Amino acid sequence: MAKEIIVEVLMVTLPFQGHLKPMLNLGKHLVSKGVHVTLATTEEGRHRMKQNIQNSKVQFEFFSDGLSLDFDRSNGDTYIKSLNVQGSKNLSTLLTSLTKVHNYFCVIVNPFVLFAIDVITHHGIPCAMLWIQASALYSIYYHYYKNIDSFPNLEDSKEKVHLPSFPAFDVRDLPSFMLPSGPPHYNVYMNDLFQAFDKLKWVLGTSFYEIEEEILKSMDSVKSIYPIGPLVSPFLLGEKETYDFRADMWNAEDSCIEWLDSKPPSSVIYVSFGSITVLSQQHMNNLATALKNSNKSFLWVIRPHDSNNASELPREILEDTKGRGLVVKWSSQDKVLMHPVVACFISHCGWNSTMEAMVTGVPIICYPDWTDQRTNAMLIENVFQNGVNLKRGEDMVASTEEIERCIREVMEGSSALKIKKRAMEIKE
């Protein structure tokens, strides 16, 4: 009798919430199909993960990035250099050890472990990339760094960008890694990444075909990307979780679900800016005042930050909105977005949050900050049409009046009905 062949796959990612979630969601789907999945991340990940990873059906392995656990990894230049030298060497050592007992069909990396591509290629294993942003971002970066299309002067934020299968959009809506205002080491990194794409056998996308059809078609003639999403939690797709381990680094306050249970359908504004974004005090004040003036119920996730730039919610706002406003340190976003009382989502427009809002049919009010978020916001308003993008001045702060306008647009009147209809079409 022939021996059963077990397909084995290794994944490599950094231990950040937005990087782990799509990798783990892919891992869950593969495990459910009988694939043996190993996920390798840095020792910092072992330290940060609060859950007992032994409960996971994905096998976890760890390697050092060459830095101490207390090193501030927001220093991107130093972090990248250490990953390229020490991280690369340590991953290679781990891979040598793992391949003594595992026969990996391929190794799947995400865009932020560039150092891993050479290591994997050196070990003679096919390498795939899971692109964890919109396929549109992949297209923009590829056309820019491969010099396929001409781009306008990136110093002028109001210049128009014209690309195949895109509506014309402003330079300021390009990903911040490309712009002169962004840290130079990120621009260098993205350039190096796209020069390494020739070493990849496949590029997989966390998006899904129906929302980016024309963009996906336009990439077939250069370097195809295969959308395998929406790569969200199986829970959001009505499926049973294959195991209990989740990527959340912080404990969710489930009491907020009981609070939502007490509200009428489609009446609550959900506000969350993800795990990294820190709002300035002016951002915080304007948003808090707009929520107060809206007379709508709201659930706001404000994660404590050690940053000197961290701001505080004005105490009088909490007093004035007592009963209709709830502030928590972290929430189970899947459960919140699935809740029938949530009418809209004020979001930083990270791609994971954007996909989760799409799958649950929740309209988005876009308040982006950096990296891919401004491009996602442009797509939400002009391409997907399931939300609105806050207009801001040169200081990138949205006024109280502008936030109030956007709340009205997605919650009241004919425009709200149109946006909700489109959000539900995408959900279907």
Domain ranges of the chain: 8-236, 252-427
Class of domain 8-236: alpha beta
pLDDT of the residue at 150 = 85
Fold match, 8-236 / 252-427:
yes
Q: State the architecture of 252-427 in CATH terms.
A: 3-Layer(aba) Sandwich (3.40)
pLDDT of the residue at 244 = 47
pLDDT of the residue at 56 = 77
Dihedral sign (CA 184, 186, 191, 196): positive
Q: Per the structure block, which two tokens stand in for 213? A: 């059809």
Largest CA distance in the chain: 74
Q: Where are the beta strands (DSSP E) in 15-137?
A: 36-42, 59-63, 104-109, 127-131
CA dist 382 → 176, 256, 388 (Å): 19, 32, 9
d(CA 85, CA 92): 11
- Digit-by-digit pLDDT tens for the chain (428 residues) are 566 788 999 999 999 888 998 999 999 889 989 999 999 999 988 877 755 565 678 999 999 999 998 888 877 789 999 999 999 999 999 999 999 999 999 999 999 999 999 999 999 999 999 999 999 999 999 999 999 888 999 999 999 999 989 999 999 999 999 999 988 989 999 999 999 999 999 999 999 999 999 999 999 999 999 999 999 988 898 876 544 455 555 566 678 999 999 999 999 999 999 767 778 889 999 999 999 999 999 999 998 755 555 567 778 888 888 889 999 998 999 999 999 999 999 999 999 999 999 999 999 999 999 999 999 999 999 999 999 999 987 778 899 999 999 999 999 989 999 999 999 999 99
Residue 385, phi-psi category: left (phi > 0), alpha (psi -120 to 50), beta (remainder): left
Q: 358 and 211 in contact (C-beta within 8 Å)?
A: yes
pLDDT of the residue at 309 = 53
